Each structure stands twice: as structure tokens, then as C-alpha cells.
Amino acid sequence: MAGMAVCLWFDDQAGPAADFYTSIFPNSRIARVTRYGDAGPRPTGMVMSVSFVLDGREFVALNGPRFQFSPAVSLLVKCRTQAEVDHFWARLGDGGQPQQCGWLQDRYGVTWQIAPTVLDEMLADPDPDRARRVMRAMLRMRKPDIAALERACR
């Protein structure tokens, strides 16, 4: 079967971005770096792409001008504990821009969702009043607070 990887298109920050991401996630590494040659279209020796692994998942960072990131595509980090939420929120948000409801844009412009796994369960609660309270609580947050979501659910 064919493989799949997420490709992130940067202007000229593919190398530093891949280094940043692999420093944050466990089970992560840089797999390969390719560089532009004299055939262009970028300067000879400039990083063209970086293949890297984040927590066992394959990614590629590509340097190429023209395209910008948009929140229309985001990377979802499913967190089981508040410690995981705190870790990924702090590290990915360092130099970035926090958004509402666990969303943030990192220093490179990539949008991430830092989401507690219990949130989906709470929002799917068969009691619509409980689910509504959880949603209202989440809408008031930037960084998710699992204890506050659990209180809202009760």
C-alpha cells in the first residue's frame, strides 16, 4: 500500500521548523535533509526538504516560496492529561499566537489544536445539558483546562 505523509510548505524555514517540532514530540527524529543543487530554483545548498518523524508519524517540510499557512488546515494533538496539554501548549506556542478553544499558531505559522481526549467524550454526552455546559466552558478558554471541563460536565 502507498504511504502517506503530511507536507508543510515553508518559505525558507523548513530546517528550523523540523528541528523545533522534533524537539517537542517524543519518538521524533530528522530522517533526511535534501538541498537545492545548481539546477535551482532556489540557491544552491539551501535546504529543499526535511523528512522528519513526529511521534512515529511521517512529515515533510519543504522550502518553496509563494504559499502561506492557513487555519483551514491544522494539526491535532490529542492529549490524555493536563500535563500533556500544558507541555504542548507551552512548547508549540513559544513565539506563536494562542487562539481560542485550544488552537494556536506556532512561530512558523502552522496551526495546531491542543485537544484533551476527554473533550470529545464530554461533547458526545447523551445529556444535551452536560454537553452544552462543556461547550460553553471550552469557548471561554484559550489553553484547555481538563479539570474545568470536568466541572462543567458535572
- pLDDT tens series, the chain, 154 aa: 788 999 999 999 999 999 999 999 999 999 999 999 998 788 899 999 999 999 999 999 999 878 899 999 999 999 999 999 999 999 999 999 999 999 999 999 999 999 999 999 999 999 999 999 999 999 999 999 999 999 999 8
Residue 35 exposure: Cα atoms within 13 Å on the Cβ side: 6
Residue 66: what pLDDT? 81
State phi, psi for 98 to the nearest 5 degrees: -70, 145
Residue 121: what pLDDT? 93
Residue 103: what pLDDT? 97
SS3 129: helix
Q: What is the pTM of this model?
A: 0.92
Residue 114: what pLDDT? 98
Sorted by sequence, the CB contacts under 8 Å of residue 146 that are 6+ apart come out as 81, 82, 85, 116, 118
DSSP H helical ranges for 94-145: 117-123, 128-139
Residue 65: what pLDDT? 78
**Structural domains of the chain, with CATH:** 1-67 (3.30.720.100), 69-154 (3.10.180.10)
